[in-house]
Amino acid sequence: MKLKKLSLRTRIFLAMILLVLLASILISLVAIYQYKEQSEDYHKERLDRKEENIQTHLKRVLNGRQNTWEVKTENIPLIFKDEVYNIADIHKLQINLYDLEGSLLVSSKAGLQNNEADHCIDAEILNAISNTAIHRFVDKRIENGETFQSSYTYLIDQKSKAIAILNLPYLEKDDFLNKELQEFLTRIGYAFMFVLLMAIIIAFLLSKYITKSLKTISDKINTTRLEKRNQKIVVDDTSEEISTLVNSYNSMIDELEESAIQLAKSEREQAWREMAKQVAHEIKNPLTPMRLTVQNFQRKFNPDDENIHIKLDEFSKTLIQQIDTMSSIASAFSNFAKMPAQQNETLNVVNIVRLALEIFNEDYIVFTAEEEEIIAKLDRTQLIRVVTNLVKNAIQAMPENHTPKIDINVKNEDSNVVITVSDNGSGVSIENIDKVFEPKFTTKTSGMGLGLAMVKNIVETYRGSITLESKKDVGSTFKVMFPRVK
């Protein structure tokens, strides 16, 4: 939860620093592991080389001219009485020779014969030597923090017959390798400190660069209002992602402006409806006294009354006064409700229809056009009204639990511009197809049934036509035709 509260700039900064630290730790661990493996391989190969060299040296002594003793197990102490010290000194390694039963014959370490613990080889080691194909066994143990290896192998004569067991105790000294590891870790530590410093600087500059553009966009979004004209964002030298975000915001501003126009238009229409209700109410007000006056005059009318002319004059004045009231109300309403004069202009119908569809957010609305430019002479506002009413009607015709689809197409057909709006909604029954363009007819639970009647009125004003093809529970297709400019 605390991480979510951090700003994007702080997150970018921390992420880069953490990445460098993790890389430093990982590389250090890999280096330590590599040095450890390298040390183990080094000691193993060194012991193998020492053993091979000592074996060769021992065989030369056994088979040399200076050896006057018969080469057999009993004579090993005599053959190597003095030579074992020379060989051990040359190869810098202790040498122990045992008979095949595991008893010590000769050793380069003084006083070893008196050490009962090292006088004999364990039975397990003897079995391991004799049972392996290479007749070799390496015993490895750790004492007082130091690692010891001890190899056991057969010493053979010229006839490849085992005459003794060669034992080479070996102490693993890692002082040199540990020093190398310490120096390596020290150098890599300095390198990581430099990289960390550079990462801090780069992370700071990069996070500042990224969030600067985002802050500009955020400030613009915070000041965006529906009731005013909003400015678009102009940001130079940005990344592709930021440019995409800026373009999306600017497109949203265009759509918002168009939506504001449509909303204002809708509010005016709503005001018109409210005014119509008010006018109807105002017209009813004078009708009631007029009715009562006529009924009262009819009931009390007496031709012989001497005041009949005065009463008739008062009656006439009352009716004229109420008629004048209704006339003024009707005149005011007529002036208010008068449709604006058609502003015919040469339009690209494809662009206007596309503009009209931008107020709809439904992703199942698909617009296609056979050409990018289809010219006709029409009123822009009334063409938008035709398209929006037909699309709204299609949306409202969609039943629940149904996958909706609405297709709008614009094309040339002979000398006409043809706009079709097709849906897969509930459709219209055959008996109602001829009634859909009548005022106040509707199959919906809401609405006054004036939308399609108004569309038909606008289309016919331009000497066009509108038709409907529909099938119940399958869908409907409205086809609007306008004369076009060639």
**Range 286-294 average pLDDT:** 71
For residue 103, CA distances in Å to 51, 70, 330, 371 come to 20, 20, 135, 105
Find how far residue 458's CA is from the centre of its chain: 47
CA distance 412 to 468: 19
Which range of 85-89, 312-316, 333-337 scores highest in mean pLDDT? It is: 85-89
Note whether 79 and 69 are within 8 A (CB).
Answer: yes
Q: What is the pLDDT of residue 422?
A: 92
**Class at the top of the CATH hierarchy for domain 2-177:** alpha beta
pTM of the model: 0.38
The two three-digit tokens of residue 228, written as one number: 């005013």
Q: What is the pLDDT of residue 112?
A: 52
Find how far residue 103's CA is from the centre of its chain: 75
pLDDT for 407 beyond 90: yes
Please report, in angstroms and rounded to a whole number, the separation of the first and last CA atoms in the chain. Answer: 65
Helices vs. strands in the chain: H and E counts, helices first: 11, 12
The two three-digit tokens of residue 206, written as one number: 């990069």
CA atoms within 13 A on the CB side of 163: 19
Higher-pLDDT residue of 117 and 215 is 215
User: Which CATH superfamily hosts domain 345-483?
Assistant: Histidine kinase-like ATPase, C-terminal domain (3.30.565.10)
DSSP 16-61: HHHHHHHHHHHHHHHHHHHHHHHHHHHHHHHHHHHHHHHHHHHHHH
Q: What is the pLDDT of residue 146?
A: 76
**Range 123-141 average pLDDT:** 87
CA distance 157 to 166: 13
**Range 373-393 average pLDDT:** 87
CA distance 10 to 311: 92
pLDDT for 30 beyond 90: no
**Range 15-28 average pLDDT:** 84
pLDDT for 245 beyond 60: yes
